[in-house]
Structure 1
Amino acid sequence: MRIGMELAEFGWGSEPAELGPVLRRVAEVADDAGFDLVGVGDHLWQGPHAGGPERRQLECFTTLAVIAAHTRRCRIAPVVAGVHFRQPALLAKTVTTLDVLSGGRAMLGVGAGWYADEATGMGFPFPPLARRFEMLEETLRVCLRLWDGEQGDERPFEGAHYRLDRPLNLPQSLTRPHPPIMVGGDGKKALRLVARYADACNVYPSPDLGAKLGLLREYCAEEGRDYDAIEKTAIFPFGVGADGSGTDELVGELRRWAAEGIQTAIGIVADTDPVRQLEIIGEKVIPAVADV
């Protein structure tokens, strides 16, 4: 099993000036410790589950650029980008740029979004969920069009939500045919989009995980996709304790999810000392599940 991590909180230190040095150290430690992926949540406000909008929140892609500059081998990704925040061409260009400047290590993680108060509070339209899934599918189609060929498939794109007169994307990504696409969500609509367009799913581990992956297998068969070619990722909090006392429990949990079919576990790291958490996970967890 591969281990990734997502930065979900930014309450490090007492002053904003401390965020940059800690972030750089987080990136270096994660890369050296063998984390396969370093991700950042795509929000403008902190979520209600983590203290709400009065808590600090760094912008996703700016943060990923800093992480890219201070890592050498790990993949980097938004986990996951909300489709309502950006026009799809801007999203594709941003991920392309991240891929080029990181030496071919970027992924596109994208989903339908969920935080209505954040969107409306900051002036972004937040359509109903069904419409956001329509936007998500068109966004995937636009991104693939922009990554098609030497400079994108330049034929006009006309969708229900987006129109591009000339889908031109230069430079192209270093990762060919395109940066891997990960769709977040484990409902039927999200899993259908994984089977149709994506290279990875991103689900929540739960007692019905086997049923969810079984449904993805069915959708892959219907779409003519190889189920085994889809990377199965799951995201959930990693709590190992300040002294590492929770590592055995976490290792056991990871082994259970691996037996269900999860290949990459993305741990949400939310702690006032994220560097120490990553050091513990690197020392005690990553080696313990490497053979799973």
Structure 2
Amino acid sequence: MDLGVHYFTFTHPEWETTLTDRLTATARIADEGGVSLFTVMDHWFQMLHSGGPFEPMLEGYTTLGYLAGVTERVRLSLLVTGVTYRYPGLLAKTVTTLDQLSGGRALLGIGAAWYDREHAGLGVPFPPTAERFERLEEALQIARQMWSDDDGAYDGTHYQLAETICLPRPVRGTVPILIGGGGERKTLRLVAQYAQACNLFGAPGEEGRETIRHKLDVLRGHCERLGTDYDAIEKTMLYRGPTEDADAFLREMAAYAALGISLVSLTPPQYADPVPWAEQVTALVPRLGSI
């Protein structure tokens, strides 16, 4: 199993003067310690359950561009891009730029968006749920077309592009797509149809594992109906359980690995220095890798 770090908060002691230094140090520890994926959120306001809009928050793709310059190996993504925040053609170009400048380390993590307060606060339209998912599917189609040999028009319900030109191309010719969320009817169907990775929410104990087991069964069913390869999809999860007892944590991860999860992303503590935490969790990488 691989390890990911999801840097969801910038609220640390004396963040007003240490925010950049702590982010940089944490990313470098992760990079040098064998962490597979480093992610930040695509939010403009901090989430309400993590302190709300008056906590610090950096714009996601600017942050990833900076991280590309201070790391060498770790993959970089937002967890996840809100489809409502950027026109899809410009989003594909942004992610391609990140991929080029990072030497092929970008993922397009994307979802339907949900945080209505930041939309209203900053004047961004927030369509109904059904329309957001329609826009998400069109964005996925546009990204795939821009990373293909087809540079012609795209004519969708919500987006119309006269030319889908994207030069330079991504380093690997395309950028892997990760779709976040566990919605069974729409989200996991989109994973099966368009994505190379999914991200689910894990929790300690049998109830958490049963939830993941069920979501992966749903994903497998969508793959069978669509004729896509379930085994080729990277199954990742965001885990908020305890890690202080390394042996207990690794037993929990072994149980998740048996279900098919191949990467677990952990989050640093809020209101505490993330650097010692990063050193602690990267020490788990060799043992996780043997699961």
Q: Into which bin does the TM-score normalised by the smaller protein fall?
A: over 0.9
Aligned-residue offset at 1:260: 1.5
> What's the offset of the Cα at 1:101?
0.1
Provide the C-alpha distance between the structure 1 equivalents of 2:27 and 2:278, rounded to a whole number of angstroms: 10
Amino acid corresponding to residue 105 of structure 2 in structure 1 = R
In structure 1, the residue matched to 2:205 is none
2:129 and 2:251 map into 1 onto residues whose CA distance is 35
Aligned-pair CA distance for 1:268: 2.1
How far, CA to CA, are the matches of 1:185 and 1:89 in structure 2?
Answer: 23
Does residue 125 (structure 1) correspond to residue 125 (structure 2)? The answer is yes
1:7 aligned partner, one-letter code: Y
Paired position in structure 1 for 2:168? 171
**Aligned equivalents of 2:259 and 2:183: distance in 1?**
17
Structure 1, 248-257 or 120-129: larger mean CA deviation: 248-257
Name the TM-score, length of structure 1 as normaliser: 0.93
Pairing 1:220–2:223 present: yes
1:37 to partner: Cα distance: 0.4
Using the TM superposition, give the Cα deviation of residue 239 of structure 1 relative to its aligned residue in structure 2, in angstroms. 4.2
Verify: 1:100 aligned to 2:81, yes or no. no
Residue 236 of structure 1 pairs with residue 228 of structure 2: no
With structure 2 as the length reference, what TM-score do the two structures score? 0.94
Corresponding letter in the other structure for 2:169: Q
Gaps spanning 5+ residues in structure 1: where? none
Q: Report how far residue 238 of structure 1 moved.
A: 5.5
- Aligned equivalent of 1:261: 260
State the alpha-carbon separation in 1 of the partners of residues 76 and 115 from structure 2. 23
User: Does the CA-based 8 Å contact 1:7-1:270 persist in structure 2?
Assistant: no
Specify whether residues 22 and 173 from structure 1 end up closer, same or farther in structure 2 by C-alpha distance, changes over 3 A only: same
- The residue type paired with residue 136 of structure 1 is L
Q: Which residue of 2 aligns with 1:186?
A: 182
3-state secondary structure, aligned to 1:204: strand
The structure-2 alpha-carbon separation of the partners of 1:54 and 1:246, relative to structure 1 and needing over 3 Å to count, comes to: farther
Instruction: Give the 3-state SS of the residue equivalent to 2:235 in structure 1.
Output: strand
The question of 1:65 aligning with 2:65 is answered yes
Computed over aligned residues only, the root mean square deviation of the Cα atoms, in angstroms, reads 1.3
Change (3 A) 1:58 1:238: farther
Aligned identity (percent) is 42
CA displacement, residues 132-183 of structure 1 (integer Å, 9 cap, x when unaligned): 110000000000111112xxx222111011010111111111022x111001
Which whole-Å CA distance do the structure 1 matches of 2:40 and 2:32 have between them?
Answer: 18
Selected match of 1:198 from 195, 207, 210: 195
8 Å CA contact retained: 1:238, 1:269? no
C-alpha separation in 2, matches of 1:270 and 1:92: 32
- C-alpha distance in 2 between matches for 1:193 and 1:85: 19
**Could you give the per-residue CA deviations for residues 6-27 of structure 1, whole angstroms, max 9, x where no partner exists?**
1100012325332112111111
Report matched runs for 1:38-57 at 5 Å.
38-57=38-57
Q: How does 1:132-143 map to 2 (within 5 A)?
A: 132-143=132-143
Q: How many pairs does the alignment contain?
A: 283
Asked if 1:279 corresponds to 2:263, the answer is no
> 1:21/1:238 Cα in 2 relative to 1: closer, same or farther (>3 Å)?
farther
Distance, in Å, in 2 between the alignment partners of 1:119 and 1:246 is 40
Q: Secondary structure at the match of 1:269?
A: coil
Aligned residue runs from structure 1 range 15-94, under 5 A: 15-94=15-94
Q: CA offsets per residue over residues 28-71 of structure 1, 9 Å max, x none?
A: 10101110000011000000110101111111111111111111
Residues 190/64 of structure 1: CA separation in 2 closer, same or farther (3 Å cut): same
